[in-house]
Structure 1
Amino acid sequence: MTAMTLPVGSLVFFDISTNSTPNWQKLTEHNRQPLSFQSSRIEKNQRMANGTLRKMFVADKANLSVSWSIVPSFSNMTVDGGYGAMDIKSFYEGIGKGSFKVKIVYGKNQTSPYADRTEGSAGYLTMVFSSANFEVVKRNVKNTTSDPAQEFWNVSIALEEV
C-alpha cells in the first residue's frame, strides 16, 4: 500500500455565525479546483487641460472564484468534513443573501513560521456572493442497496469584497 499526501487544512472558511463572534466553517477540499484571487482597483482617472493624467486611488477590492467537481452533498460525506455542495447551497440561500466574513488561509508567514497567512488586514474579508452555480452530476449513488442515496455535484461560486 502506498502512502497518500493530503493537504493540511482547508483554504476557504466562511463565518456561519449570526453575531459578531466568528464561527469559522471550512469549505471542503474534496475535488476543489484552483482558487482564483483577483483584485479590482477602484480609482478615478481624469485628464488635465495640459494633457497629464491625474489618478485618485480609492481602494483595492478582492474577487474570489472557486469551484468543485463531483463533490458530495453534505460534510459527513466529504473527505475532510468540510462543507459539501448542499451545505454551501444552504449557506448561499441563508446567510449568503447578505455580507459575511471569508477567511483564506494559505502558506506560512515568514516572520512567524507557525502562523498561517490570511487575506485582509483583519485576517478575513467581508464579502458577498456575486454568483453561485450548483449542478447535479450523479444521483442515487449507493455502495449497497441498503445505503442511503447520495448525489454528487459540480459547484462554482464567485465572491466580491464589499
Structure 2
Amino acid sequence: MQLHQQGARGGAEQSQIALALHALATGAEAELAGNERRWLIPADAASNPWRNDSLTRAGELRQRWDGLSCLNEALLGNPLMQYGIGMRFLTGNGVPRDRSIGAAWIARSRAGFEASGGVPVYVTAIRIVESRLSERMSDDEKQRAREIAANLSATVTELH
C-alpha cells in the first residue's frame, strides 16, 4: 500500500484506483483524497462522481489520451485499468459516457481479479461499486451491460 500511496501522490491512476478500492472494502472511503475518491461510485445517488466540463482544449486532449491509454491497458488484461476504463465510461472522462459499457468493464475487472486469485479486497470493493451502480441503472442498461460483459469475457484475457 505504501507504493500505491507514493504512486497516487505522483498522479498514477492505477495507484489511485488501488487505494480507492482498498479504502472502500475496509470502510475507509471517507478518508480518501479527491483524486482517489473519483474512482468510486458514491453511496449518495445524487452525487456526481467525476466530471469536469470546464477543461481547456489541452486538458480535453490530455483526458482523451489518458482514456485511450487506459483502454489499451484494459484490453491487455490489467484488471485495475479495466476498472478504470469502466469508471471512465460511466463518467465520460476521456471516452464517451455510456453506463452499460462502464458497468461491463467493471464486471470484467471483478472477473479478472476472481480468476487470477487476485487481491480479495479488490473483489469485495468492486462488488460494492457494482451494487451502487445497479441501483442507478435501468433494466435495459443492465441487460446491455450483461451482453457487453459476456463479449469482454470472451475477448479480453487477464495478465499473467
Normalization by structure 2: what TM-score? Answer: 0.26
Normalization by structure 1: what TM-score? Answer: 0.26
Which protein has the bigger helix share? 2
Which protein has the bigger strand share? 1
Instruction: Please tell me whether Structure 1 or Structure 2 has the larger radius of gyration of its CA atoms.
Output: 1
